């Protein structure tokens, strides 16, 4: 009689890893004169994956960067135009927005490449070489991606230790300071909004709405460091109802005025939040 093989021991349940949330579509502002480069951009950044704003003048470029929370800027430096280098100079006024030059990289364009470096561009996209990888190259350097990576792990002082808290945090930072509604967050986490709000703030932890507002204030502080933005610009691109709304939120969450945000680091903001700003007086958590 053949003995049956001994049954393998039951494996311990695997702990589910925190999901990697994809934030809003990549937002790119492009200053382009040549049709060839426009075609390259349309191919590299399809509408379903990116929001691209095409501009032809400095005025239009400035309007676009003050209308949207911009992840990156593309400048067709190979197509010389009166506004080309004036647009390129905006890289120093908007350091939170990585600028990418677009050119063919011929030997004669060496001085153009050097000028891009002088204006502190993040990189250049070479026509015919980087077409297929342009979106990846730009996306990983974009404001939203860098913001999410920098805050991937919640600061220890926030004491966000449960898997639900960490998943919620990952979803919020993936939006890089844009508004996040608790209903949409609950839907993504596959729980009810009531369960989410109640469980998130269990054991005296910070309220979910306050955490969302903290992340928005951290994003505001980063954008406020741009010489090309004032408080009104920051409030607008982050979709606050008004500069007063941003001001009230900053005072409630970190106890400071928006005009002081540019001088504070993320660690400073989190420490201020942890000192008594984590819980609201009202019971309501909806947003």
**Alpha-helical segments (H) within 45-192:** 58-65, 84-88, 90-93, 110-118, 134-141, 143-150, 163-173, 182-189
Helix (H, G, I), strand (E, B) or coil at 99: strand
Which of 46, 53, 48 lies closest to 27 in space, CA to CA? 53
Residues of the chain with pLDDT under 70: 1-21, 107, 277-287
**pLDDT tens figures, 34-77:** 898 999 999 999 988 899 999 999 999 999 999 999 999 999 99
Residue 151's Cβ-side half-sphere holds a number of Cα atoms within 13 Å equal to: 33
Global pTM value = 0.87
Q: Domain spans of the chain?
A: 26-145, 152-274
Q: Contact 188/36 with Cβ under 8 angstroms?
A: no
Say what the pLDDT of residue 100 is.
96
26-145 belongs to which CATH class? alpha beta
What does the alpha-carbon distance between residue 190 and residue 196 come to, in Å, rounded to a whole number?
A: 9
Q: Rg of the chain over CA atoms, in angstroms?
A: 23
What token pair was written down for 41?
A: 């951009």
Q: Contact 214/256 with Cβ under 8 angstroms?
A: no
Which of 28, 23, 19 lies closest to 179 in space, CA to CA? 23
What is the CATH number that goes with domain 152-274?
Answer: 1.10.10.60
């Amino acid at each position: 009689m053949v003995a049956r093989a001994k049954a393998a021991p039951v494996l311990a349940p695997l702990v589910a890893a925190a999901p990697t949330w994809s934030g809003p579509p990549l937002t790119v502002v492009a200053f382009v004169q040549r049709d060839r480069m426009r075609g390259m951009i349309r191919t590299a950044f399809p509408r379903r994956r990116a929001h691209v704003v095409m501009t032809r003048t400095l005025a239009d470029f400035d309007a676009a960067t003050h209308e949207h929370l911009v992840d990156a800027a593309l400048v067709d430096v190979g197509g010389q135009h009166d506004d080309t280098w004036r647009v390129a100079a905006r890289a120093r006024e908007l350091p939170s927005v990585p600028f990418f030059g677009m050119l063919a990289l011929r030997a004669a364009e060496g001085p153009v490449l050097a000028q891009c470096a002088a204006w502190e561009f993040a990189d250049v996209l070479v026509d015919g070489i980087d077409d297929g990888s342009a979106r990846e190259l730009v996306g990983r350097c974009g404001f939203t991606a860098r913001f999410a990576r920098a805050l991937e792990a919640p600061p220890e002082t926030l004491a966000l230790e449960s898997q639900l808290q960490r998943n919620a945090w990952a979803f919020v930072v993936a939006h890089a300071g844009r508004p996040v509604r608790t209903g949409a967050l609950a839907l993504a986490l596959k729980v009810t909004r009531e369960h989410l709000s109640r469980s998130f703030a269990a054991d005296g932890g910070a309220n979910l709405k306050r955490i969302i507002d903290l992340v928005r204030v951290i994003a505001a502080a980063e954008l406020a460091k741009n010489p090309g933005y004032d408080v009104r610009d920051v409030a607008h691109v982050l979709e606050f109802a008004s500069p007063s709304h941003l001001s009230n939120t900053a005072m409630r969450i970190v106890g400071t005025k928006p005009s002081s945000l540019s001088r504070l680091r993320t660690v400073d903001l989190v420490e201020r939040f942890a000192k008594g700003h984590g819980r609201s007086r009202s019971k309501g958590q909806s947003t």
